[in-house]
Amino acid sequence: MARSKIALVGAGQIGGTLAHIAALKELGDVVLFDIAEGIPQGKALDLSQSSAQQGFHSKISGANDYGAIAGADVVIVTAGVPRKPGMSRDDLLSINLKVMESVGEGILAHAPGAFVICITNPLDAMVWALQKKTGLPANMVVGMAGVLDSARFRHFLSEEFNVAIEDVSAFVLGGHGDDMVPSLRYSTVAGVPLPDLVKAGWTTQAKLDAIVERTRKGGGEIVGLLKTGSAFYAPAASAIAMAESYLRDERRVLAAAAQLNGEYGVNGLYVGVPVVIGANGVERVVEVALDADEKKMFEKSVASVQTLVDACKTINPAFA
């Protein structure tokens, strides 16, 4: 049986890590695409040579031509530029919006049947633009943010409780990063909701509040430490979990930026919500009742996604 094909549009820090994890997990053959000449080819060669010791059979190649992504089953998009000192949010938005236009054209021409996972920031607006530009079915275009925010939240909680991370589950909604809406009620340790663990004296509300704040600023904390780049290991691992759930029809419930059509009272925007990812892409949005506080935070988060989308429409009226 032919191996699946995973195309990585953007062969930077996250792209290279995605290729490595995909190969180690034998998810399929991997094509790294980038506009920078030599980078995807060099990374592909280095990774291919690592297979001698690491024992994977995935073929890894690099290209500067969109033809190379032809027929991909999954496309993961990290193409774009990071925000640099002195660059306004609108500058970043307009540069990466243009990148999404060219990436969208490439996907539409060569891999229109793929499950597309966008990672490029500002995520909620970029995934919206990518879907709009390609016109691909919304269940096949999704943004990676919630899995990463949940992973950060779970890591900090597992440290606080001194328990295995796989026994900690986190429920997050809303936009990426600062706008993340954690639900403490729906986040658990071995099925026990966090507020019950406060009552039981395992932790305090103040400590949970600090963990939520640290999770929201999780990306910034890493930028502050690295100084010349942003996080890439956990973002790559998070996108791979989504790709794997699609390719292997695992039907995992993962937080992701999905197009909402009435769910949570939102129409047409991409917002982070728990979804079921299986062989048909986003198969279901998991909709639960929110309490007043969660609702307020969620609405604030949706409003900031709307502001970004409106800014995209102003920058390029073709998106309106």
Residues binding ligand APR (CB under 6 A): 9-15, 34-36, 39, 78-80, 82, 99, 102-103, 119-121, 229-230, 232, 235
For ligand APR, the closer CB: 12 or 285: 12
* 176 in active site: yes
**Paired tokens of 20:** 């490595």
For ligand APR, the closer CB: 36 or 190: 36
Q: Catalytic residue, from 20, 110, 155, 176: name it.
A: 176
Q: How far is the CB of 234 from ligand APR (least distance, A)?
A: 10
Ligand-binding site membership of 121 (annotated): yes
Ligand-binding site membership of 13 (annotated): yes
Ligand-binding site membership of 11 (annotated): yes
Q: Which residue has the tokens 């790709």?
A: 243
**Paired tokens of 101:** 């236009």
> Are 295 and 303 spatial neighbours (Cβ–Cβ below 8 Å)?
no
For ligand APR, the closer CB: 80 or 188: 80
For ligand APR, the closer CB: 7 or 189: 7
Query: For the chain, what percentages of helix, strand and coil (3-state, to nearest 5) are there?
Result: 50, 20, 30
Ligand-binding site membership of 96 (annotated): yes
For ligand APR, the closer CB: 203 or 230: 230
Hey, is 142 helix, strand or coil? strand
> Are 167 and 189 spatial neighbours (Cβ–Cβ below 8 Å)?
yes
Best CA proximity match to 116, nearest among 205, 242, 289, 284: 242
Which residue has its beta carbon closest to ligand APR?
Answer: 12
- The DSSP secondary structure of 206-227, one letter per residue, reads HHHHHHHHHHHTHHHHHHHHHS
SS (H, E, C) 152-175: HHHHHHHHHHCCCHHHEECCEECC
> Are 249 and 243 spatial neighbours (Cβ–Cβ below 8 Å)?
no
Phi and psi angles of residue 116, each rounded to the nearest 5 degrees, phi first: -105, 125
Q: How far is the CB of 83 from ligand APR (least distance, A)?
A: 7
In whole angstroms, how far apart are CA 286 and each of 96, 173, 216, 249, 258? 30, 11, 22, 17, 11
Ligand-binding site membership of 104 (annotated): no
Ligand-binding site membership of 152 (annotated): yes
**Paired tokens of 285:** 């949005």
For ligand APR, the closer CB: 126 or 297: 126
Ligand-binding site membership of 119 (annotated): yes
User: Alpha-carbon distance 77 to 100, whole Å?
Assistant: 9
List, by residue number, the catalytic residues: 176
Q: Which residues are annotated as a binding site for substrate?
A: 83, 89, 121, 152
